Amino acid sequence: MKIFADKALLPQGWADAVALTITAMGDIVSVEKNTRPPPGSKTLPLMIPGMVDTHSHAFQRAFAGLTENHATRGGNFWAWRRTMYALLQRLTVIDMKNIARHLYIELLKGGYTAVAEFHYLHHLAGAENIPGLASARALLSAAEDAGIGCTLLPTLYRTSNFDGQHPKPSQKPFVLEIDNFIHLFSILNDDISQNTNQALGLAFHSLRAVSPDNIKSVLNQIKMGDSVIPKHIHIAEQEKEVRDCLAHTGTHPVDFLMNKIDVDHSWTLVHATHITPHECDLVAKSGALVALCPTTEANLGDGIFPLQRLIDGGGRFAVGSDSHVCVDAAEELRFLAYVRRLMTQTRSNGTGGHAGTMLWSTGARHGAAACGRKIGVLEVGARADLITLEMGHPQLTGRRSAEQILDTYLFGGCNSLVRDVMVGGKWVVRRGRHTLERQAAQAYQATLARVID
């Protein structure tokens, strides 16, 4: 298959008259610039690589908007977490799939073509004998149905705080012993071995929930030949977490992790909100990626990550939608840029050039690295994951350059601009519609009607 576009965002920047040749398996095998399509061929006005959602908890979409009664429930992360725990008491494996499938369709329509699913709901009603397997397979099946690329991150969770406290009753759905975790990973690796749109990584819930010795044990036992396994961890999201870490280890979370574990480019540190300047420099030097989730971090009142310092140090960042109070890639990137502008009191994007192009290219490319998949770029060897925009939208009137169009998409407040979405060489959204969206919405609504109290 060959597709043509008047304008395309390539790794080197914008190019004119681009043709992509895509195999039946969904891989890009040639990229030609300044080409003339054959007479009668359809030409896309503009195409860009799909965005990567670097951090997702699919089930949390179910209670987005239900934790805003701060007057009676308390207005912090820990109160929000109690609402999450309450929902889990009623959630089944089938519910998990219904929620995830609907969410993944929303993400596709919001400009994402791949998601890293940080999965720690290992024990749900309707599960099989092997801990964690049924719910993990439900997520992979939901991603397959929706047509979104997925890196599943089965997550180790063993304790409730740094001092090794036993998990609370409300945390039992998350808990896996290390042997069970290794076994789960092995089965899932076989499950996805033939699926070119899926990959597998490792997640350690947090330093509250997993000790450095636990991490070392897992890393010593899980090998995948020459493949680099993506590794993700929540870290330094909350000030209480930092205080507890200091009390029990004498140092800050990122420092503690890096003193105990060889953190390199295969690691993704999620949030890292409350890191010190020294820790930020360590992260940049290590090559580790920071996954920022601006809308969730704002919704929870987490705090603000020192993004400018990371950029100045040559560090890497990408975005995720986390709790899914937002399912729109443009809005996530816009929020990230606006918070940075408020912090620096400038409108510079830190690297020069157009903000939209820089943010989109960076988010897609670095997000792909966090997923351990060849996506996020339109180049030979990558998966054909891309989106097109609705060029007839009134807000795009007068935008003559591709840079202005992408800037307007991100900063013009018109989030309905995603028109067509391709994942692995297959169109999964056409003219803003997904073929399964009505069916998925009905199943999602039925699930919410049962589990929401």
Residue 111 near residue 387, CB atoms below 8 Å: yes
DSSP E strands, 11-96: 13-22, 28-32, 43-49, 51-56
Structure token pair of residue 394? 């009134």
Structure tokens belonging to residue 209: 């929930």
Q: Are residues 238 and 337 in the same domain?
A: yes
Query: Do residues 401 and 357 both lie within one domain?
Result: no
d(CA 132, CA 120): 8
In whole angstroms, give the CA distance from residue 418 to residue 390. 6
Query: Over the stretch 201-238, which tens digit does the pLDDT of each residue have?
Result: 999 999 999 999 999 999 999 987 778 999 999 999 99
The reply to whether 34 and 118 lie within a common domain is no
Q: Say whether both 201 and 245 belong to one domain.
A: yes
Instruction: Say yes or no: 343 and 397 in one domain.
Output: no
pLDDT digits (tens, 9 = 90+) for 267-326: 999 999 999 999 999 999 999 999 999 999 999 999 999 999 999 999 999 999 999 999
Strands 386-389, 43-49: parallel, antiparallel or unpaired by DSSP? antiparallel
Question: Tens-of-pLDDT digits for all 453 residues of the chain?
Answer: 999 999 999 999 999 999 999 999 999 999 999 999 998 889 999 999 999 999 999 999 999 998 887 654 556 776 777 878 888 888 999 999 999 999 999 999 999 999 999 999 999 877 667 889 999 999 999 999 999 999 999 999 999 999 888 888 888 889 999 999 999 999 999 999 999 999 999 999 999 999 999 999 999 999 877 789 999 999 999 999 999 999 999 999 999 999 999 999 999 999 999 999 999 999 999 999 999 999 999 999 999 999 999 999 999 999 999 999 999 999 999 999 999 999 999 887 666 689 999 999 999 999 999 999 999 999 999 999 999 999 999 999 999 999 999 999 999 988 779 999 999 999 999 999 999 999 999 999 999 999 986
Q: Mind telling me the catalytic residues?
A: 271, 322
Residues 224 and 157 in one domain: yes
Query: What is the pLDDT, as a whole number, of residue 75?
Result: 65
Same domain, 38 and 80: no
Q: Which structure tokens are listed for 151?
A: 């890196």
Is there a domain that residue 450 lies in?
no
- Do 10 and 82 sit in the same domain of this protein? no
Which residues are paired to 118 by β-bridges?
153
Asked whether the beta carbons of 307 and 272 are under 8 A apart, the reply is no
| Residue 196 within any structural domain of the chain | yes
Question: Residue 402: in which H helix or E strand, if any?
Answer: helix 402-411
Question: Which structural domain range is residue 213 located in?
Answer: 51-371
Q: Evaluate whether residue 377 is within a structural domain.
A: no
The pLDDT score that the predictor gives to residue 240 is 93
Residue keyed to tokens 């140092």 = 251
Residue 19 lies in a domain: yes
**Domain annotation covers residue 313:** yes
Determine the Cα–Cα distance for residues 424 and 426; give it in Å rounded to an integer: 6
Please provide residue 386's backbone torsions phi and psi, each rounded to the nearest 5 degrees. Answer: -155, 165
Is 36 in the same domain as 115? no
| Nearest-angstrom CA–CA distance, 149 and 423 | 7
Residue 171 CA to residue 181 CA, distance in Å, equals 16
Dist CA 398 CA 364 (whole Å)? 27
Q: Do 322 and 281 lie in a common domain?
A: yes
